Amino acid sequence: MGIPRGTARLLLDEARRHPFSGRLLELGRMSIYCTEAELREWAAEQEVTLADPGPVELSHQPELARQGCLSDRTFFRLLGFAEVESADVSDWERPDHLLDLNEPLPAGLAGRFDAVFEAGTIQHVFHLPRVFANLHALLKPGGRMVHGMAPSTNHVDHGFYMFSPTLFHDFYTANGWRLDAEWFFEFFPFWVRGRFDSPRWPIRRYEPGCLDHLAYGGFRARQVGLFVAATKVAGATGDRIPQQSYFARFHAARAEEPAAAGAGAPGVAPPPAWQRSLKCFRARLLRLRPRRLPPVVVRY
């Protein structure tokens, strides 16, 4: 779990649009893959005023501290949070709270936080409906949920799940939250001396339906991650079960089509082998075509 350059800069964008304040809960202690000087440089480029973090602490991971990388608490205080707490299912990184998101939320944590941040946690938790109910319960009214680097395409066996962006869009929409940011990005990951690095991420805006044509193998060797921010506005809930928006679009389109003339004939023979081979060859050729993607908004 960590915050590389791309996630840090997307957080700076959120801080510019809606300044952070109050009490933050991070799910798992974040490894911060940047120094104070790097964060200040990015903040200046993005016209974000950083807060006074108090005494600057370096990472709780020795290999990152030796490179000058910030601690999670100092990083989030620089973004504007007055208090930073952490929760994890085990105590090996000394979190402030022991919390199993598969279970109902302890009463003492309900409604306590102005923001919850996760980047690499919820894909490892089996009971996803409980996860989302707990995220809702952790936040005060008006609180913000930020998924900083949710794994999507090409994260096989990294966790229990890889997430399609429609999961976040449809859940938060169905439950009446305000969606503040929906981004997706492709990247080639690698680590240098324990520090996550990669070429700059092309950041694209997600809108329902924009990836339908890439659903089957459209991202090739790249990994895809998601950044989602949502606000718990008045009346928002955490337990409504969404229907996938793809099917809402699908059924709406079918409803506009004229009724088919008659039913299909029974007992139709399967296509011959040459026809199946031709279709397979055509599908391979289509994979080589340039991909149609939403425009790159920024590169972080």
We report the CATH number of the domain holding residue 97 as: 3.40.50
68 falls within a domain = yes
Run of H or E including 172: helix 165-174
296 falls within a domain = no
Q: What is the mean pLDDT of the chain?
A: 91
Phi, psi of 170 (to 5 degrees): -70, -40
292 falls within a domain = no
Buried b (16+ CB within 10 A) or exposed e, 186-220: bbeeeeeeebbebeebbbbebebeebeeeeeebbe
Q: Would you state the pLDDT for residue 264?
A: 46
259 falls within a domain = no
Encode pLDDT of 47-90 as tens digits.
Answer: 999 999 999 999 999 999 999 999 999 999 999 999 999 999 99
What does pTM read for this prediction? 0.88
Residue 283 burial (CB < 10 Å; 0-12/13-18/19+)? Answer: exposed
pLDDT above 70 covers what percent of the chain? Answer: 90
Position 127, amino acid = H
Residue 140 burial (CB < 10 Å; 0-12/13-18/19+)? Answer: middle
287 falls within a domain = no
Q: Would you state the pLDDT for residue 274?
A: 79
Encode pLDDT of 146-188 as tens digits.
Answer: 999 999 999 999 999 999 999 999 999 999 999 999 999 999 8
More confidently predicted of 277 and 255:
255
Neighbouring CB atoms inside 10 A of 134's CB total 26
Average pLDDT over residues 276-296: 70
189 falls within a domain = yes
Which residues lie closer than 8 Å to 9 by C-beta, 6 or more apart?
42, 46, 300
Domain of residue 15, residue span: 2-246
Q: Would you state the pLDDT for residue 136?
A: 98
Number of separate domains in the chain:
1
C-alpha closest to that of 159 among 120, 200, 188: 120
Widest CA span in the chain: 77
251 falls within a domain = no
Encode pLDDT of 241-268 as tens digits.
Answer: 999 999 988 888 777 766 544 444 455 5
pLDDT above 90 covers what percent of the chain? Answer: 78
Encode pLDDT of 199-219 as tens digits.
Answer: 899 999 999 999 999 988 888
